[in-house]
Amino acid sequence: MSNNSKNTLIEIGNALKKAGRLETRPLAVYGSETIPEGSVSMSSIDQCTAKTILMAAVDDNIPKLFLGKQSLKGCCLGGITWFGFGRISPFIKYFVSTGKKNSGMVMPNI
């Protein structure tokens, strides 16, 4: 990505934030066969993908993030499921509703 493209993306993001009166910066999600330069694995920020995404939206210091088959270790089962890398566990409803650490959740072999 050229510097002009990068600046344009930043300008578009800033314009969307202003026009939408958003408190957080907008995020873009896309698929790629290559890891973007200067990016870090989502699980290196936090194991919870939802928390990591929120952190990226509110903190300009969070770099570009990536998630892929090679980087699922340390990622929450919900993130693995919702990003399409695994099937939903039948135990998720108990884990989410009780908040118990030992609720029958089994992490897939990654």
Q: Are 78 and 50 in contact (CB under 8 A)?
A: yes
Predicted confidence (pLDDT) per residue in 66-102, tens digit:
888 888 888 888 888 888 888 887 777 666 666 555 5
Q: What is the pTM of this model?
A: 0.66
- Residue spans per domain, the chain: 3-74
Q: Which residues pair with 40 in a beta bridge?
A: 65
Expressed in percent and rounded to 5, the helix, strand and coil fractions of the chain are 40, 5, 55
Distance of CA 40 to the CA centre of its chain: 11
63, 62, 66, 94: which is closest to 79 by C-alpha?
66
Higher-scoring residue by pLDDT: 41, 94 = 41
106, pLDDT greater than 70: no
- Which pair of structure tokens corresponds to residue 93? 């409803």
**pLDDT at residue 22 in the model:** 84
